[in-house]
Structure 1
Amino acid sequence: IALLNVWGVGDSLPKSQDRLFNPQALIPPRPTISTVQWVTGTQYITPADMDLLISGPDRPPSKRMLAQHAAEAEQTRRAGRAGANKQAAAAAGAAGDSSEEGYWAYMQRQVQERTEKLGLVGDNMENLEQNSASWAEEASKFVGKQKRGLATGLIKAKFGL
Structure 2
Amino acid sequence: MKNILYLIITLFISFNLVSCEKENDIGGGSTSTDNNYIKVYEKDLIYAIRLAYTIVPDGNNYKVYEKDLIYAIRLVYTIIPDGQNYKAYNKDLINSTNLAYTIVPDGQNYKVYNNNLINSTNLVYTIIPDGQNYKVYNKNMISSSELAYTIVFPQ
Q: Same fold (TM over 0.5)?
A: no
* TM-score, normalised with respect to structure 1: 0.18
More strand by share: 2
Structure with the larger helix share: 1
TM-score, with length taken from structure 2: 0.18
Computing the radius of gyration from Cα coordinates, the structure with the larger value is 1
